[in-house]
Amino acid sequence: MAQTSLTLTGARVVTADGVHEGWIRIDDGRVAELGTGDPGAGERYDVGGALVAPGLVDTHVHGGKGHSFPGSSPEGVREIVEFNRAAGVTSLVGGLVAASPEATLRQVETLAELCDEGELAGIYLEGPFIARARCGAHDPDLLRDPDTTEFDAWLAAGRGHVRMITVAPELPGALDLIRAATSSGVVAAVGHTEADYEQTLAAVEAGATVATHLYNAMSPLKHREPGPIAALLGDERVTVELILDNVHVHPGAARLVFDAAGADRVSLVTDAMSATGLGDGEYTLGELRVRVHDGKAHVVETGAIASSTIVLPQAVRNAVALGVPAEDAIRSASSVPATALGLPGIGVVETGAHADLIVLNHDLSVADVMYRGRWVG
């Protein structure tokens, strides 16, 4: 049961400015104060010197526990949320994949209801305005050129909850779609693309500010044809997503991203699918069959890599294994994605923010989770 007021003492709190050593007071589901010394009267909980971090924020996730955001019932979506929340991921943006216009509209409407309830932090559309040659785990028959009329219908159905859309810049109408998204307050991301360096920069100039899972589903980096990777990695206006499951991206390539962009531009995401939390077997992602073996997911028909099966705290631990400082890795999975998508009051530990917190063990496994001032579990 939630406490009206609770002070966590003996804490090393990960904040935007560093690690604060002392205490943190929670009042009515929000962070009320951080301090040192004697916190005064009131109920206390001593965390014994543990790291206390903001609850993690996954802005690119498609499902878990046997359910996926595309096509799931509200009950299924709630199970995805509860599974992630218990693991320390206190905010999710529900990710959709390419579908027919009618199905996409229905899915947006369903997720908007969950956003209204506060279960989701927003809606993300990874398709359908992406390149067939780089479709990955999207059904190529459901892809289409960017259409601002269809986008406007999504906005209406989403009632202000559509937060991000991925676009391939080389497609006809892509720059107009990026401009329309930006002017509507929706983040435009570049991904699933064959764009060259110049086309990618044009997308950034048009307003794109996120790179969809850098490296994956885009033209590779070449020294005479640098393509989207160099353009996105080299532009300080762009936040770059990274699927750090050690399957999608080699650790050496992941380390290069942190070195080149800095942790404050790296957004750790999972791109997780319905198999997450269940194990090997055959599942679906959108309209495609996906087989998971040894935790690695591939599209049955094409063999293409399809989503991950990790939860976000694992990505944080993998980043630390690369040599990234723990507090930087935590920010890459909390404040960086929240800021990139304009999500207020989450992913940070500061006065007035939601009291979404995780208490971490020495090995960075999650010991306790607090959501809106309530202990989870």
Catalytic residues: 271
3-state helix, strand, coil in the chain (%, to 5): 30, 30, 40
C-alpha dihedral sign at 231, 234, 239, 240: positive
Pairing of strands 89-96, 281-285: unpaired
Closest CA to 57 of 341, 375, 339, 338: 338
Q: Which helix (H) or strand (E) holds 15?
A: strand 5-15
Q: Rounded to an integer, what distance in angstroms lies between the CA atom of residue 170 and that of residue 147?
A: 14
Spell out the residues 6+ positions from residue 32 whose beta carbon is closer than 8 angstroms to its own: 5, 25, 26, 351
Under DSSP, the state recorded for 277 is T
Q: Rounded to an integer, what distance in angstroms lies between the CA atom of residue 181 and that of residue 183?
A: 6
Cα Rg, the chain, nearest whole Å = 20
Q: Rounded to an integer, what distance in angstroms lies between the CA atom of residue 158 and that of residue 128?
A: 16
- The alpha carbon of 24 is separated from its chain's Cα centroid by a whole number of angstroms, namely 26
Q: Say what angle helices 174-183 and 197-206 make with each other, to 10 degrees.
A: 30
Spell out the residues 6+ positions from residue 148 whose beta carbon is closer than 8 angstroms to its own: 173, 176, 177, 180
Closest CA to 369 of 352, 357, 361: 357
